[in-house]
Each structure stands twice: as structure tokens, then as C-alpha cells.
């Protein structure tokens, strides 16, 4: 992942992130970069089902453009992080 736009364009970065927390949810090695719609659908469904992450992004919005909006990706990742913290899957430093 190099940035918050093009690096997330195939949906694989979302899938890789979720697979790191939920390795039994799907076979990451079987995913194809060109199957963008399926990758986004899988990632967003997994995030909602396993992490309780609100579906802030729509699959159709993500596949409409070759490069997703960086602000949308960033906002979604913040929400995913918050959900993972709430489930105790991400440890934060106490201040």
C-alpha cells in the first residue's frame, strides 16, 4: 500500500487487511486483482459481519472509477480501526 487512493483500487488491500484479522473468513490467495467488484463486496461484507463495521462505502461507487477517492478510503479505514479496537482486536496505547 503506497497511498489512500490507487493502492486500494482493486479491493485487494481491503481484503488483505481484513484477512490479517480474520484469516478463516476467506481464501486470500484465491482472489484476483481484476475481480474488483467481488473483492470490494467480500471485504465490505467481511468487515460488517466480523468486525461490525458500518457499510460506509458502496461497491458500485468503488468500481465506478479506476482510483477510489482517498478521503472515502481514509474515512472507511478509520471506522474499521474503531470497530477492531472495540472488539479488542487492535491494542492501543494507554495515555
Which single residue is written with the C-alpha cell 482472489?
31
List the chain pLDDT tens, one digit each, 95 residues: 888 778 899 999 999 999 999 999 999 999 999 999 999 999 999 999 999 999 999 999 999 988 888 999 999 999 999 999 999 999 887 76
Is 1 domain-assigned?
A: no
Residue 83 is predicted with a pLDDT of 96
Residues 38/67, Cβ–Cβ less than 8 Å: no
Domain count, the chain: 1
Domain annotation covers residue 46: yes
Structural domain contains residue 95: no
Residue found by looking up cell 460488517 in the block: 48
Q: Give the domain CATH number at 69.
A: 1.10.418.10
Map residue 52 onto helix, strand or coil.
coil
Please tell me the predicted confidence (pLDDT) of residue 5: 78
Q: Range of 66's domain?
A: 6-87
Entry pTM = 0.91
At residue 95, the pLDDT reads 62
Amino acid at each position: 500500500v503506497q497511498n489512500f487512493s490507487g493502492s486500494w483500487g482493486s479491493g485487494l488491500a481491503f481484503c488483505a487487511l481484513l484477512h490479517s484479522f480474520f484469516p478463516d473468513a476467506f481464501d486470500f490467495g484465491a482472489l484476483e486483482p481484476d475481480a474488483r467488484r467481488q473483492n470490494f463486496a467480500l471485504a465490505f461484507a467481511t468487515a460488517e459481519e466480523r468486525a461490525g463495521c458500518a457499510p460506509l462505502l458502496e461497491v458500485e461507487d468503488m468500481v465506478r472509477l479506476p482510483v477510489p477517492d482517498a478521503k472515502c478510503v481514509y474515512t472507511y479505514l478509520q471506522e474499521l480501526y474503531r470497530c477492531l479496537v472495540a472488539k479488542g482486536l487492535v491494542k492501543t496505547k494507554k495515555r
